Amino acid sequence: MDTIVTALSALYPAFIEGAQGYMLLAFRAVVGFLFILHGLPKIQNLQTWSKALGAPLPLCFLSAGFMIVGGTGLIIGLLTPFASLSILVSMIYALVLEVIDGLPIVAPDPYELGEFYSGPNGDKGEPPSMEKALIFTMMLTLLILFGPGAYSIDALLFG
């Protein structure tokens, strides 16, 4: 426990208050909620996701679990840098896979294409790109660097 207190104190000598603190609270809650929404279907369809990703089942389980547990930690502001880092690893992995696949940073807008994208399995929607993983990577990095703000459990416990 002392190690966690020391690490958080070193990362965040002061927790951001006022309007910026409230914005961090809202930002944390939205990002956490989004990751829970991303993690739940993955954990419920673990075999399918593992096969589609071409990744080992235990790795997919950890990734989806970190999205759910880390997302919950972000919402309440508990161990925020560790919650963010646990999910960030998955987002960086996703980015690496997308770079290897040669995906564009931003996909062409479906309206520019004249029709919706049709994937290899006939699925419709937007073409694949790095955009979502890149945005989530930046959001999680922001939370690691700026901290959870004064309106968090971290601030109550370690502030």
* Residue 119 confidence (pLDDT): 63
Domain that holds residue 66: 2-158
User: Do 80 and 148 meet the contact criterion of CB atoms below 8 Å apart?
Assistant: yes
CA-wise closest residue to 82 among 22, 14, 34, 152: 152
The answer on pLDDT for 137 being more than 80 is yes
pLDDT tens string 73-115: 999 999 999 999 999 999 999 999 999 999 999 887 766 666 6
> How many domains does the structure of the chain reveal?
1
* Residue 122 confidence (pLDDT): 63
Q: Which residues pair with 113 in a beta bridge?
A: none
Pairwise CA distance, residues 137 & 63, whole Å: 14
User: Do 63 and 90 meet the contact criterion of CB atoms below 8 Å apart?
Assistant: yes
Q: Which residues pair with 118 in a beta bridge?
A: 124
Pairwise CA distance, residues 141 & 81, whole Å: 9
